Amino acid sequence: MSSQPEIRTSIIRKEYPLEICSPSDKKRTTFKFLAKVESKAFFLRKSAESLLKNLSDYDKKRFTLTFNSITNQIDFQTRYIRQLFNPDKNSSSLLDIGSGPGILAKKLLLFYHQITALDCDPSCRPFLQSLKRRQGFDYILDRFEDATIKKKFSNIICIHTIYYMPQKKWGDCIKKMLELLKPGGKALIIMVSPKGKMHDLREPISSTYTHCGGLRAILEKSNISYSKDVFEFSFPEPNRKKFKDMIIVYVLGACYTPDEYDVLGKEHKERLDCLIDGFVSACYDNEKNVYILSEVCEYICIQK
C-alpha cells in the first residue's frame, strides 16, 4: 500500500501577463516559453529605464506590469523554496532541472553554497555561462534523463519541466532524483494540476494530456510518500487575440505534439478553434475589462 500523502492546500493569485512572448515561443509546449519570457526580462532589465522613455503611457503600464509580475512569480517561488528547504548558505547544494536561463537559480544562489543548473536548450548557454562566473554556480547542458551527474544534492527543483520528458520515463526520472539527493534531502516538482477551467478545457480534447495526476500515480505506485501545495495563478490580458493565442499555446501545446496537430483534419482543427473561441469569451471580466485565465498548479515535495 502506498503511503497516505500529506495534503496542504493554499490558493494564491498573481498577475502574470505574457504579452512579451514572441511568436517563435508558441512552437513550444505548455509553460516551456516561461523561460523565454524570463530571459527577455533578464536582458531588458538593465535597459528598462531608457526603453520606458520611448513608450506611450499605455505601453509603460503594460511593460511595468510585465516586469513586476515576472518578479513576483520568481520571488514567490524563491520564498516558497526557502521556506520548504531551509537551505544553509555554508553547506546546502541545489540541482535545478530545466533551469532555463537561470533566473530562479540566480536568486537562490544567495541562499545556497552551490547550485547546478541543468537544461537541454542550447540557447540557455550564454545565460548560464555568465552565471558561472559567480562562486558556487555551475551548469550542465543536457537532458536530465541522459545526463551523467556524479554529485549529490541537498535539494532538487524541477519546475514545469517534467512534461518534456517521455511519460514512460517519469518513474525512472523520479528514481534518479532520489538517488541524487543526500540523505534527508528534498525535491520539489511543480506541474499544472488536473483542476480548474483549463483542465475542463484540455481534458475533453485529450484525456492523456500531461499534468501532475500522472506524477502522483507514479509516486503512489512506487510507495513514495509526498506532500503537496496547490496554488492558483491568474493571467490577465486585455487584448482578445493575444489572450486567444495564449490559450492556444497552453491548450494545444499540452494536448498535442506539433506533428500530431499537423496531421489533424481541417474540420477537427475548426472544431478546436470554435471550442477555444467560446472558452475565451467566457474568460472575459466585464468589471475589469480584461480576459483572465486562472491556472492551477501543484507543488509536490518528495524526500529521501
105-143 pLDDT, tens per residue? 999 999 999 999 999 888 888 889 999 888 899 999 999
- Maximal CA-CA distance, the chain: 62
CA 221 from centre of chain: 25
Q: How many CB atoms lie within 10 A of CB 58?
A: 9
pLDDT band at 44 (very low <50, low <70, confident <90, very high): very low
4 vs 233, residue with greater confidence: 233
Q: Give the pLDDT of residue 70.
A: 53
In the Cβ-directed half-sphere of 277, how many Cα atoms lie within 13 Å?
A: 6
184-226 pLDDT, tens per residue? 999 999 999 998 899 999 999 988 888 999 999 999 999 999 9
Rounded to whole angstroms, the Cα distance separating 260 from 289 reads 36
User: Could you tell me the pTM of the whole model?
Assistant: 0.76
Q: Give the pLDDT of residue 95.
A: 98
> Quick one: cell of 253?
501545446
Fold of 9-19+28-303: Rossmann fold (3.40.50)
Task: Work out whether strand 6-7 and strand 137-141 pair parallel, antiparallel, or are unpaired.
Answer: unpaired
Rounded to whole angstroms, the Cα distance separating 235 from 92 reads 34
Rounded to whole angstroms, the Cα distance separating 278 from 78 reads 36
DSSP string covering 18-32: -TT--GGGGGS-TTT
Answer whether residue 3 shows pLDDT above 50. no
| Torsion region of 165: left, alpha or beta (phi above 0 gives left; psi -120 to 50 gives alpha) | beta
- What are the extents of the domains in the chain? 9-19+28-303
Triad 255, 228, 107: Cα angle to 5°? 85
Q: Which of helix, strand or coil describes residue 256?
A: coil
pLDDT band at 228 (very low <50, low <70, confident <90, very high): very high
Q: Give the pLDDT of residue 227.
A: 94
Lowest mean pLDDT: which of 46-60, 72-86, 228-242, 288-302?
Answer: 46-60
pLDDT band at 167 (very low <50, low <70, confident <90, very high): confident
- Intra-chain end-to-end CA distance of the chain, in Å: 18
Q: Give the pLDDT of residue 65.
A: 57
